[in-house]
Structure 1
Amino acid sequence: MKYSGPGPLDRLFRYLVPLSVAFLLSGCGTAGYYAQLTEGQWQLLRARQPVDQVLADPATSAQLRARLRHAEEARAFASEQLKLPDNRSYRLYADLKRPYVVWNVFATPELSLQPVTHCFPIAGCVAYRGYYRQGAARGAAALMREQGLDVYVSGVEAYSTLGWFDDPILSSMLGWGDERLATLIFHELAHQRVYVQDDTAFNESFATFVEQQGTQQWRAARGLGASDPAQLQQREQFTRLVLATRERLQTLYSGTLTAAQKRQAKHAEFERLRHRYQQLRDSQWHGDRRYDAWMYGPLNNAKLLPFGLYDQWVPAFAALFREVDGDWTLFYQRVEQLARLPARQRMAALQKRL
């Protein structure tokens, strides 16, 4: 098995670049935030162990052993068949002893769907801030609410450092089924393959396509049938339901009503969303309640932000994949060409393939 790339604590935390950046940034709040990012990443790096060592340890449970073996099969498939990076990422394991690796905090104005963005030296500008401790995320969210913002906190099982470090299989990833674990590996490795600063929709749609196409090939290689079409349909219907609400809210917020009238109409839109969801769930999904927790929790603008980012350009990438007759190497070359275009030209090129 071939390994490439960094080693020993990823070349001493990439020469402590993130920590240096933190000290160069002005403002105590900003420095404090970067300090927790640096500490969290450092702890994660120190927690890693080679999967081979974990498997060889007699104290490793049979359940963990089985999950890691499955993950390593998916990891090998990712490089050999999907032509994703062949490095040490996801050939290491880290027990976080918590349900999520980070908690992301999303925020918008009360009467707007425009996200509060945050810019980082490596990842560019994104519509959230990540925290390694749930308490810190909740504290940041509380401060934003005091400013009158709509806020949503979401736990994340995995993330990519875009090849800067050897990303491990995380204990937070193992709560999913075997197939979902494989798709997470495909998705996160895709971010290492191609990433464009300041274009979340492009990055996530690309990784989602690689995840979906990779999963089809993964299932075929294992002699399994296609993924359950009912579950895929439910996900698409749920996403369309939320996106339709977001479009109506966008029209509402750009209209001429008073702020008080917009607040009242905003509340009505979220109640309408819940009502339509319940009708869909009970009439077409036979009472499947997998989305109940999300729907019946507090709803606000910020909670709608992630929708569409992961799916917007997936059909365009699927069309591009067909153009190269399913050749992964050529596909990535074409995607890299798109990535080098200015933002408007890139969007236009994707739009033509929808």
Structure 2
Amino acid sequence: MPEHAHRTDPRTRRLSCALVVGALLLSGCTGAFSPRYYWQAAHGQFELWRRARPLDVVLADSATPGPVRDQLRLAADIRDWASSELSLPDNGSYRRYADLGRRFVVWNVFAAEALSVKPRQSCFPVAGCVSYRGFFAEADARAHAHALAEAGLDVHVTGIPAYSTLGWFDDPLLNTFIHYPETELVRLIVHELAHQIVYVRDDTEFNESFASAVEEEGVRRWLARPGKAALQQGFDRTQTMRADFAALVGKYREMLDELYRSDLPDEAKRAGKHTLIGQLGADYIRLRDGSWNGFRGYDRWFGQDINNATLASIGLYTSARPAFSQLIARAPDLPSAWVSLRELAALPRDERRARLGLPPHPDDR
């Protein structure tokens, strides 16, 4: 490309912004920060942006498979509805499509001490501190996890189908989630758009609990549309099992936390850890074969190595969701709810938690 294009082409300026912001969102400051990590973040974001095509182009392409075309039309309907009905940002996000040729867009690495359920934090220049580090290539994620495990940490690697750039630029629909069932597609698009309303640095519980409350409100309203009643039963069952799973994992995470904080010697704590994780697996089988009537959708999760990092990756930061659901219910309309939310976000953490009726944050006690 000619040198002057870098100064004059808006598309190029937008791409440069994507590279920088993508790297800032993904590049962690905890531990050794390497140019290689920065490069994989920038390169991965560039590839995602480069592959994205406008939906009308993809829909008109004869090479687009019929099932994908149907899902793209559904996603376009959800996207328009999310702005008109939920007053979520009306921008270019989820109005393009990218096929990355892989199952996940990024892989997140979680890590925790061998005798702690508190995840190790990675701090990002834009997103603040979060409990994982993301990689666009699975091999890079697993290499990083291996290095952490060699240092004696519990580690967990999980594939992620979508992430938000927080409104810095337009996020596309991806092959990694376009095949989702209808209610799950609504859930994902609404959740990611909610992150564009407001984002509070270093308060993952606020961000995720709010987005989770918005997604639930979004699905509720979507299912109230004409012709959607048949989806309700399946959604309710999925919600029940999702809640059962989170409660089961949360129960054992709390039991392990209590064990680790006790005065027992480390050897006894390690033995207790092994016992409790075994009991978690047994309780899951009873749940699966009992009230779930043999549903095996969580077998893969329980079939992996369960450790502190695995447990820390599940539902750790959504406990404030009921408070946000109440905020939404009390507001006269959703735009008013979003105004209240932004006002809360501007407050110090202890004050906004008090306004939401939440106890002090564990780090502030």
Name the TM-score class by shorter chain: over 0.9
Q: Which residue identity is paired with 1:339?
A: A
Alpha-carbon deviation of 1:41?
0.4
| Matched residue count | 346
From 345, 349, 354, give the equivalent of 1:348: 354
Contact kept? 2:18, 2:45, Cα under 8 Å:
no
Does structure 1 residue 14 correspond to structure 2 residue 17? yes
Q: Which residue of 1 aligns with 2:39?
A: 35
- Decide whether the 8 Å contact of 1:9 with 1:46 is kept in 2: no
Give, in whole Å, the separation in 2 of the partners of 1:160 and 1:112: 29
Counterparts of 1:276-287 in structure 2 under 5 Å? Answer: 276-287=283-294
Matched AA of 2:336: L
After superposition, the C-alpha distances for 1:197-225 in whole angstroms (9 at most, x for unaligned) are 11111111111111111011112124322
Superposition RMSD in Å: 2.3
Deviations 1:229-273 (A, max 9, x none): 232122111111110101111110011111111100000010111
- Per-residue CA deviations over 1:115-171 (Å, capped at 9, x if unaligned) read 111111111111100000000001000000000000000100000000111100011
Q: Please name the residue that 2:4 is paired with.
A: none
CA deviation profile, 1:298-317 (whole Å, cap 9, x unmatched): 10000111323353111101
CA contact (8 A) 1:116 1:127 kept: yes
Alignment of 1:175-194 (within 5 A): 175-194=179-198
Give the match for residue 308 of structure 1: 315
* Equivalent position amino acid for 1:350 in 2: L
Equivalent residue in structure 2 for 1:198, among 202, 205, 218: 202
**Structure 1 residues 247 and 93, CA, compared in 2 at 3 Å: closer, same or farther?**
same
Inter-partner Cα distance in structure 1 for 2:98 and 2:237: 34
Q: Residue 321 of structure 1 contacts residue 331 of structure 1 at CA under 8 Å; is this kept in 2?
A: yes
Q: 1:109 aligns with which of 110, 113, 135?
A: 113
Cα distance in 2, alignment partners of residues 178 and 250 from structure 1? 37
Whole-angstrom CA distance in 1 between matches of 2:358 and 2:127: 27
Residue 62 of structure 2 aligns with which residue? 58
Q: Equivalent residue of 2:209, what SS? A: helix
- Are 1:263 and 2:270 counterparts? yes
Q: Does 1:164 align with 2:168?
A: yes
Rounded Cα–Cα distance in structure 2 between residues aligned with 1:46 and 1:115 = 33
Q: Which runs of 5+ in 1 are unaligned?
A: 1-5
Deviations 1:167-199 (A, max 9, x none): 000110123112212221111110111111111
TM superposition shift of 1:19: 8.6
Q: List 4+ stretches of structure 1 deviating above 3 A.
A: 15-23, 25-29
Preserved CA contact (<8 Å) 2:186 2:218: no
Aligned amino acid, residue 105 of structure 1: V
Partner Cα distance (2:294, 2:23) in 1: 53
Q: What TM-score does the superposition give when structure 2 sets the normalisation length?
A: 0.89
Counterparts of residues 208-287 of structure 1 (less than 5 Å):
208-225=212-229, 226-227=232-233, 228-287=235-294
Q: 1:7 offset after TM fit, Å?
A: 6.6
Answer yes or no: is the 8 Å Cα contact 1:191–1:207 preserved in 2.
Answer: yes
Distance 1:141 1:258 in 2: 27
Cα distance between partner residues in 1 of 2:41 and 2:240: 37
Q: Deviations over 1:265-297 (max 9, x none)?
A: 000010111111111222211111111111122
For the residue of structure 1 that corresponds to 2:82, the secondary structure is: helix
Check whether the contact 1:107–1:149 (CA below 8 A) recurs between aligned residues: yes
Identical-pair percentage: 44
Which amino acid counterpart does residue 211 of structure 1 have in structure 2? E
Residue of structure 2 equivalent to 1:336: 342
Cα distance in structure 1, aligned partners of 2:187 and 2:224: 14
Contact in 2 for aligned 1:107/1:152 (Cα 8 Å): yes
**Is contact 1:205–1:309 with CA below 8 Å preserved after alignment?**
no
Q: Which runs of 5+ in 2 are unaligned?
A: 1-8, 360-365
> What SS does the aligned partner of 2:20 have?
helix
CA distance in 1, matches of 2:191, 2:127: 16
